[in-house]
Structure 1
Amino acid sequence: MFSFFLNSKKALRKFLIFYFSLFVLFLSVSFAQGNYTSVNKNIYSFFNRIAVKRLVDFQEFVKPLTRSQISFFLEKLKTNSQSLTKIERQEFDWYLQEYGYELEKSKDEMIETFKDGRIQSSEDFADSTSNLSTHYSGLTSKFTLLSAIPRFHFFTYTDNDFHIVADPILGFGIVNNFKEMQYHRWNGINIYGSYGKHFGFNFSFRDNWEKGDKADKIKQFSNVPGINIVGGKDNDFEYSEVNANITYETKNFILSVGKDFLEVGSGYRGKLIQSTKAPSFPFIRCDFYPVEWLSFNYFHGWLNSKIIDSSKIYSTSIKDQNRIKYRDKFIANHSISIRPLIGLDISFGESIIYGDGGLNILYLIPVSFFRLADHYESQGSNNAGSNSQFFLDINARLFRGLQFYSTLFIDELSISKLLKGETDRNQFGFTVGLYNYGTIGNLGLRLEYTRILPWVYSNYIPSQTYSSSGYSLGHYIGQNADQIFIQIDYKFIRGLEFKFLGEHIRRGGISDIKNQYELPGEEFLYGLRRNETNIGLEFSYEFIHDLFVKGFYQYSYITDEDKSRTPDWQLGKNQSFALSLYYGL
């Protein structure tokens, strides 16, 4: 049989070395220095707002983007910067400072490389970075502590080949929730840099401590990322977050090996395809941009199944302390994004969850057809197969000031049965949203609806559910649920933003998993109902780069017919207040 699996660490190491070397040899020589910008950074929302006004052509189907990619979009915006509002112009200058090194370092190469109209002239680009040139141009080496130019960093070092930046992560927050005070403290470090024209790296570590008798240890019903608790007492707990990437980037290719949060698809409150709900996981990732209107993305991830492999349990030197190992679990995802018109992005692709046998070469081929590969592997047996999904995403900014976006995530769909009116066994979810910005100054209006039918993300084989570390890889509301979300956001001055939001979430029940595979199937929102309504006001202000103060007020009303799902003290009406001060993300 033409397939093989990589089970040993030695074989895995050899494969990754080969995989990385093959791409490095293949990639063409051009400008780029790759280190990823966290999906939580405000630069993404800034570009989306500007793209809605049709002042820049911004692509964001797969995130995060590298700093050089972001600097390229900043450079493109230069030609339309005169159309920005006063606050938008201040934000633009703010991000020119943030990405000053990438802009200055790539200026000469970009002028020579992009002669297809994306850069009008060398003078235009030089003007946009003139205020940065005195800091970075002609460097042999520069070591700086507590630098304030072009933006504040605790540590920087730069020479002609090597650049590194290091900043601490510090934060403290208080929350009055469920009629008690809760506390959250975090600290860590964030490092990023580059070497030469192509290699980049980034590393971030954050140690967290939360305290409160009613503090949310599970984080099941919110869009806050899930956690793996590593210590604590009855009324407090600790957990850590580590993300890191090594990246090789050129004009048309990006190859990275790392552990980080990935986002795939459209959606503001949550994403159906790939969200940040589950803790970050290790992956290899490849992005290919052959032409301006077409892009290809692939990643292969190592998930945490949280399923103990009974065949690998053995005793240790301490009585009743057996060694355990979790069963293998992986995800492969690839997608194509096409831009038929400026302002219209259409993306489609597939993903597959597999495991129980080590790495499978069929899913390490970026251009393979995963579902057909699964048919080959399973030989027609569901018990031997994997769990595949398809998705389609549309992001349209065709009219100035208005964005329409939608995602369709298909877990199981029969077109023939759908045409006959038999819809119960069709398992899919969808999101549709509208966003208006710029019609009235810096005011944004958003309306978003998500519906996920029963049994989406689930599977009768526990190691093949669409999850990692016990959390959904997709939208946080989960299967058999829907959500309507509205938000009004407004920027009063540079860095100060207020948001008024409201949402209503309905969740149904979950019955025996065998019902997923039997007709007639389950109706939408079957079972015991959980309803949740939230109305809130949030504000945030960025004093200097990465120094934030944030606060929110939220009124919530929760009912649940399932007495075991929601603690009694969460039910009914509740008011929450929070305030936090932090440096770094």
Structure 2
Amino acid sequence: MMSYLSILKSLRFHPWPWVFVMLLLSFGQDTAVGIIDVPLGNPSYEFIERMETKGIIKGVRDGTRPLSRIKVAELLMQIEDSQNRYKLTEVEVRQLEWLKREFRYELEALGASVVQEEDPHHGRWHLFAGGEGVGNQLWLDPVVRFSWDTRGGKTVYRRSWGGKIYGYLDDTIGFYLYTRDTSEWGKGIRHVGEKWREAWEKELKDPLRGGFSEKGIGHIGYYGDRIDHDEVDAAISIALPWFKLEFGKGSNVWGPGYHGQIALSDWAPSYGQVKLSASYGSLLDFTYIHAWLHSGLVDTLRSYQTPEGFRRTLYRRRYLAGHRLEFTPLRGLDIGLSETVIYGDRGPEVLYLIPVMFFWSAQHYLGDPDNLQMSGDIDVNLIDGLRFYVSLFVDEIYISKIFSRRGHHNWIGVQGGVHLVPLTGYLKDLDLRLEYTRINPFVYSHKFPINNFESYGYILGHQIGSNADEIYARVNYRHKRPLLLSLYYNKVRKGELVSAEEAYNNPSQRFLSGEVEVLRTYGFGVTYEPMPNLFLNARYKLFSSSGGSENGLSLSFRYNF
């Protein structure tokens, strides 16, 4: 250990953080195989959710995502070994075999066989794959996306490329890098000057107006009728005897919602974070995060302009701390409880760096300068083929008037949904979903703007924002393994937003008060996956509002995107 210290001192590094890291590594588990996360949006999530709804597997506890690769591999093994495996349709069996290619390495590390007769190489293609033994592996994949979107006579073209690198080092560390660079151009991209840029960016992030908006866009470069933006997710995960420790940049989904989540969603750009996660047997999971957000609020004390006219803009600090407990008290019932706090204008607060701290009491101790939220959800699957869930998000609440239509400080959000999977008959490869979300006025906001529940201008929770509700219905039918047909309907109602002063002086504002905007969307989509992670998509949408109706059409080619 002294040799490490002397080297670090000679390099003028402060040694103690590195000593801490080396101590963590010295107590690593026997293997780190599978500890890196599966990207949100991977097809494995919907397949596992369908298997849970059918009753093939129980106690999945997927209300805390992303899941690790080893967790997904274990669930695929449970499906393979389930006594109810005979209930799988022919399409589902082929889907299972398809996913086993993606998680071949983790499955083999668990002792499972993934050899497939029709594919003697029993693996999927990688640009590079190599390594020696278990725990020293590296994979490299290209990322490509081309798309064409039109709506109301406006057209946008998108081109994205990048790469994915992931692997394991020395049985202790897993790493992951996913980067992509995107250009968008066409008549749907306005020529934006400085004067209109802020208003246009807000429109892009508004689900009622931004017809071409994408979630998770951070910094945007403007070049006339073209915009460029790039996104990156990365993580280093360390397997320890008691928990997994992760340093990275990524997103989190907390809650069972399908078309957005009210506690934490991936609508906002990914953010830097430290994450601790642990599982205790097969009944309980615990997750803690501390994240560095983008406030979008200029720090006038630290920002400056050089004599040559160059402007250096720095932003006020904003953080998110949160922890979530998800447990299975009985087979077919998963319960999640979480607590989050937004704070800023100072360095990381030590009380919020304690994973098991009760943040409610911590912020009282600090004098109530921050914005605390609590949430809970129940995911019920007691009847095979039927799953329903309910989520509650509490920003502020006045218990004695919780059921009052003009309740004082009832700043809450609720979400409920049903997932149906027919078990027999001609419709057995069908999925039916119905979901309702309601966000009361003032939710996600705060009297101190630094504490708003957002990052880079995007809400961290459900994308419809406060004083709004949404009905979402979707039918998926997988005719063959590679072919998915989708039919969906979406109705969003949104009332007026008011200032923070109005929110605190008149906290009993009625739901959907003021002028209400309504947007209905009818859609049909076709997705074809001829090879792993290569998707061809075609979607038609009809948008209907008080201002009239518009047709939208989208075509895309995606590989590893």
Mapped contact 1:30–1:251 kept (Cα < 8 A): no
- 2:292 aligned with 1:291, yes or no? no
Mapped contact 2:439–2:465 kept (Cα < 8 A): yes
- 2:53 aligned with 1:52, yes or no? yes
Partner of 1:346: helix, strand, or coil?
Answer: strand
Mapped contact 1:540–1:550 kept (Cα < 8 A): yes
Change (3 A) 1:376 1:171: same
Structure 2 counterpart of 1:6: none
* Residue among 506, 509, 530 paired with 2:493: 506
Letter in 2 for 1:75: M
- 2:353 aligned with 1:351, yes or no? no
* Residue among 221, 229, 236 paired with 1:231: 221
Change (3 A) 1:312 1:229: closer
Please give the per-residue CA displacement for 1:503-557, whole angstroms capped at 9, x wherever unaligned.
Answer: 1110000122112223452000111211100000011111111111011000011
- 2:54 aligned with 1:66, yes or no? no
Change (3 A) 1:513 1:153: same
Structure 1 counterpart of 2:397: 413
Letter in 2 for 1:361: V
Displacement of 1:106 after TM fit? Answer: 3.1
Partner of 2:38: helix, strand, or coil?
Answer: coil
TM-score for the superposition, normalised by structure 1:
0.85
* Residue among 85, 90, 93 paired with 2:89: 85
CA distance in 1, matches of 2:141, 2:276: 28
* Residue among 422, 426, 437 paired with 2:410: 426
Change (3 A) 1:131 1:366: same
Structure 2 counterpart of 1:193: 167
Structure 1 counterpart of 2:103: 99
Structure 2 counterpart of 1:527: 514
* Residue among 458, 463, 468 paired with 1:471: 458
CA distance in 2, matches of 1:393, 1:18: 40
* Residue among 125, 138, 153 paired with 2:126: 153
CA distance in 2, matches of 1:335, 1:21: 28
CA distance in 2, matches of 1:96, 1:322: 52
TM-score for the superposition, normalised by structure 2:
0.89
Show structure 1 runs of 5+ residues with no match: 1-11, 108-124, 136-147, 560-570
- 2:117 aligned with 1:129, yes or no? no
Structure 2 counterpart of 1:577: 553
Mapped contact 2:406–2:509 kept (Cα < 8 A): no
CA distance in 2, matches of 1:47, 1:510: 38
What are the within-5 Å matches in structure 2 for residues 272-421 of structure 1?
A: 272-319=262-309, 321-378=310-367, 382=368, 385-418=369-402
Structure 2 counterpart of 1:7: none
CA distance in 1, matches of 2:515, 2:454: 23
Change (3 A) 1:130 1:582: closer
Show structure 2 runs of 5+ residues with no match: 1-12, 190-199, 208-212
* Residue among 421, 424, 449 paired with 2:436: 449
Change (3 A) 1:514 1:232: closer
CA distance in 2, matches of 1:352, 1:15: 29
Letter in 2 for 1:573: S
CA distance in 2, matches of 1:185, 1:13: 43
Displacement of 1:290 after TM fit? Answer: 1.6
CA distance in 2, matches of 1:369, 1:224: 35
Structure 2 counterpart of 1:171: 145
Letter in 2 for 1:433: G
Change (3 A) 1:31 1:202: closer
Letter in 1 for 2:61: Q
- 2:545 aligned with 1:541, yes or no? no
Letter in 2 for 1:184: R
Letter in 2 for 1:441: K
CA distance in 2, matches of 1:297, 1:392: 14
Q: Which moved more, 1:353-362 or 1:29-38?
A: 29-38
Structure 2 counterpart of 1:550: 537
Change (3 A) 1:519 1:582: closer
Letter in 2 for 1:365: I
Please give the per-residue CA displacement for 1:78-108, whole angstroms capped at 9, x wherever unaligned.
Answer: 112332110000000111111111111232x
Displacement of 1:247 after TM fit? Answer: 0.8
Displacement of 1:229 after TM fit? Answer: 4.0
Partner of 1:70: helix, strand, or coil?
Answer: helix
Structure 2 counterpart of 1:114: none
Change (3 A) 1:303 1:66: same
Partner of 2:315: helix, strand, or coil?
Answer: coil
Displacement of 1:349 after TM fit? Answer: 1.6
Mapped contact 2:155–2:188 kept (Cα < 8 A): no
Mapped contact 1:411–1:456 kept (Cα < 8 A): yes
Structure 2 counterpart of 1:180: 154
CA distance in 2, matches of 1:16, 1:66: 27
Displacement of 1:364 after TM fit? Answer: 0.7
Mapped contact 2:405–2:510 kept (Cα < 8 A): no
Letter in 2 for 1:198: T
Partner of 2:545: helix, strand, or coil?
Answer: strand
CA distance in 2, matches of 1:580, 1:15: 50
* Residue among 220, 234, 237 paired with 2:205: 220
CA distance in 1, matches of 2:376, 2:437: 14
CA distance in 1, matches of 2:479, 2:438: 34
Structure 1 counterpart of 2:197: none
RMSD: 2.4
CA distance in 1, matches of 2:216, 2:249: 15
Q: Which moved more, 1:524-533 or 1:18-27?
A: 18-27
Displacement of 1:158 after TM fit? Answer: 2.1
Partner of 1:389: helix, strand, or coil?
Answer: strand
Mapped contact 2:491–2:518 kept (Cα < 8 A): yes
Please give the per-residue CA displacement for 1:482-509, whole angstroms capped at 9, x wherever unaligned.
Answer: 0011111100101211110001110000
CA distance in 2, matches of 1:272, 1:293: 24
Mapped contact 2:33–2:168 kept (Cα < 8 A): no
Mapped contact 1:498–1:538 kept (Cα < 8 A): yes
Partner of 2:472: helix, strand, or coil?
Answer: strand
Q: Which moved more, 1:442-451 or 1:98-107?
A: 98-107
Letter in 2 for 1:83: K
Aligned length: 526
Mapped contact 1:339–1:346 kept (Cα < 8 A): yes
Mapped contact 1:515–1:521 kept (Cα < 8 A): no
Mapped contact 1:154–1:168 kept (Cα < 8 A): yes
Displacement of 1:355 after TM fit? Answer: 0.9
Letter in 2 for 1:575: N
CA distance in 2, matches of 1:525, 1:421: 11
CA distance in 1, matches of 2:172, 2:355: 22
Mapped contact 1:178–1:574 kept (Cα < 8 A): yes
Mapped contact 1:178–1:214 kept (Cα < 8 A): no
Mapped contact 1:541–1:549 kept (Cα < 8 A): yes
CA distance in 2, matches of 1:169, 1:541: 17
Partner of 1:543: helix, strand, or coil?
Answer: strand
Change (3 A) 1:337 1:256: same
Letter in 2 for 1:335: R
Mapped contact 2:28–2:241 kept (Cα < 8 A): no
CA distance in 1, matches of 2:241, 2:383: 30
Change (3 A) 1:66 1:421: closer
Letter in 2 for 1:71: A
Displacement of 1:14 after TM fit? Answer: 7.5
CA distance in 1, matches of 2:333, 2:19: 37
Please give the per-residue CA displacement for 1:323-360, whole angstroms capped at 9, x wherever unaligned.
Answer: 22101100001011120111210011200001111111
* Residue among 245, 249, 255 paired with 1:259: 249
